[in-house]
Amino acid sequence: MTRIASKLSIALLSGLAFSASACAAETETPKMTNAQTIAASVVKTSFDAPASAWRDVDPENLLIIDTDYGQIGVELYPEIAPKHVAQIKALTRQSFYDMITFHRVIDGFMNQTGDPKGDGTGDSSLPDIEAEFKFRRPPSMAIELIDARKTPTGEVGVGFYKALPVASQPAAQAMLTRDGKVEAYGLHCSGVTSMARSQNPNSGNSQFFLMRGTAPHLDREYSIWGSTVYGREHLTSFKVGTKGDNPSFVPDVMKKVRIASDIPEAERPRIQTLKVDSPAFDQYISAQKTASGDYPDICDITIPSRKL
């Protein structure tokens, strides 16, 4: 069956949550704060920390996207979204994503790609994936909670797992649960990668989007599977427009997409991020506090990274 709207445009996704009208979606498109604009355009490589405070990103879980603006490195999290990561890896290793366009780019919101048709209606030949909107976190999974965020169901702790902004119940509550784990989920902050889908929660396939801004109403509604750890400044370089709405729009492309471990070692980028369980991270986070002593929103904090 032809899936005319198999992957709703993210403009619709932004208002879905689930909005009754497409018009509401457009008016709800998120805008960047000054802090987010800075975070998206500056890769923090100058933070002074000892070598022991840095973590090598596993090349088997590092997606390298070559664009006209430069390389983008996305860390993959199979421990959070195993089915989505497996699909991304499989398609990448088929060279499926090479020369695929960013067919829908919304300023201050996201860059959507992964459609072989280039108009928002296409998928790969692989089966759709079940939703992985949330994950179960064991106490051994180190998440550095630094603040709290209000949600419709109450406050939830927010912090970082590796380089990914997340929300999580306290690990101490694990002793009260049947599986010895607590609920957690990724946050749709700038740099995060998430899977596009239709109104069917289990319809993720090949299309995904890289966040340019923040969209908390997408949290727990779309499957987050990665976070940009290198080349964040390029996320706001892609031409803004929608191929499905404007046939004359000439979008940017992902020229080549590879898993870092498949790149010859001599050519492979080595990416490091600051360890969230290090004293250096505590120092870095403390320096983010405002004059009033409060932390900025979790989405306004970028984990320092560097390429060696």
Domain span at residue 94? 10-307
The number of distinct structural domains making up the chain is 1
Name the H helices within the chain.
Answer: 10-15, 22-27, 34-41, 82-93, 279-286
The answer to whether position 1 is within a domain reads no
Give domain status of residue 51, yes or no. yes
Q: Are 276 and 159 in contact (CB under 8 A)?
A: yes
Give all strands (DSSP E) within the chain, no chain letters. 54-56, 62-67, 70-76, 100-101, 104-106, 110-113, 135-137, 144-151, 154-161, 164-168, 182-186, 192-195, 208-211, 224-230, 241-242, 253-254, 256-259, 271-274, 305-307
Contact indicator for 251, 239 with CB cutoff of 8 Å: yes
Query: What are the tens digits of pLDDT across the range 218-231?
Result: 999 999 999 999 99
**158-198 pLDDT, tens digit each:** 999 999 999 998 888 888 889 998 899 999 999 999 999 99
| pLDDT tens readout for residues 52-109 | 999 999 999 999 999 999 999 999 999 999 999 999 999 999 999 999 999 999 999 9
Reported pTM: 0.86
CATH number at residue 159: 2.40.100.10
